[in-house]
């Protein structure tokens, strides 16, 4: 499973990219507003830090305007991935942009039929929102599993399942178990994946015992 980080905070992205384990970035208008910077400038800076797909979302809601904005954003860098909402206009824009060779991430997906339409529209990625489904008492993880089964039923559906709206380390594990191709993870959750109290405890014990040997490795 690929790991993307869900943020427009360039400092966080640079720091996580240094681990060598970051495969891409997703942004959205809320994350861009939170960054408080010029949209195209911050996308260009992110694309220069991360070689993998960097999602930048259109603001238009009508297909022709979405296509125009997508073409503008795609000129920023070769790894820009255009995010469009799961609407008929978004699907029309997806078809045109993917036919032009631009990667498209269809976002705001909340059921399997929407995901099926996005795949038929040629989407590079589909972003089912796990956390927002959980927030209203539904099972976000069930959607990931449903999409995986549907896509695997048809060889011509090549869209990658990008698990989004991830709120916990458990969401990451369950997304991997369900066969998501990508998980886009908030920075704090991503950092927490490496932590376990028994790892810390065991390392401290190893270090203490090694110190007692008085030896060095050099």
> Which residues in this chain contact ligand G3P in the complex, by CB under 6 A?
6, 26, 28, 127, 129, 131-132, 164-165, 184
The distance of closest approach from Cβ of residue 30 to ligand G3P in the complex, given in angstroms and rounded to an integer, is: 6
**Using CA atoms, how far apart are residues 23 and 160, in angstroms rounded to an integer?**
14
120: annotated active-site residue = no
Q: Where are the beta strands (DSSP E) in the chain?
A: 2-6, 24-26, 54-57, 80-85, 103-109, 125-128, 160-163, 182-185
Considering the complex, state which of residue 2 and residue 203 has its C-beta at the smaller distance from ligand G3P.
2
Burial class (CB in 10 A: 0-12, 13-18, 19+), 172: buried
Of these residues, 83, 92, 173, 201, which one is catalytic? Answer: 83
**Bridge partners for 105 per DSSP:** 83, 125
Considering the complex, state which of residue 102 and residue 184 has its C-beta at the smaller distance from ligand G3P.
184
Measured at CB, which residue is nearest to ligand G3P? 165
Rg of the chain in Å (alpha carbons): 19
Considering the complex, state which of residue 28 and residue 98 has its C-beta at the smaller distance from ligand G3P.
28
The distance of closest approach from Cβ of residue 146 to ligand G3P in the complex, given in angstroms and rounded to an integer, is: 18
Residues belonging to the active site: 83
């Amino acid at each position: 499973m690929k790991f993307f980080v869900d943020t427009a905070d360039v400092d966080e992205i640079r720091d996580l990219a240094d681990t060598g384990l970051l495969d891409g970035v997703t942004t959205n208008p809320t994350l861009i507003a939170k960054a408080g910077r010029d949209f195209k400038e911050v996308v260009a800076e992110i694309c220069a830090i991360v070689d993998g797909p960097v999602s930048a979302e259109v603001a238009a809601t009508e297909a022709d305007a979405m296509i125009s904005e997508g073409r503008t954003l795609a000129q920023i860098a070769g790894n820009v991935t255009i995010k469009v909402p799961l609407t008929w206009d978004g699907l029309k824009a997806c078809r045109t942009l993917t036919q032009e060779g631009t990667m498209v991430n269809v976002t705001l997906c909340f059921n399997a039929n929407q995901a099926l339409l996005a795949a038929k529209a040629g989407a590079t990625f589909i972003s089912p929102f796990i956390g927002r489904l959980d927030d209203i008492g539904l099972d976000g993880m069930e959607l990931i599993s449903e999409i995986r089964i549907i896509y695997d039923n048809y060889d011509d559906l090549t869209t990658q399942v990008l698990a989004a709206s991830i709120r916990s380390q458990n969401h990451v594990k369950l997304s991997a178990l369900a066969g998501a191709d990508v998980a886009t993870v908030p920075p704090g959750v991503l950092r927490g994946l490496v932590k376990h109290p028994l790892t810390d405890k065991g390392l401290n014990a190893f270090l203490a015992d090694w110190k007692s040997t008085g030896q060095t490795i050099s």
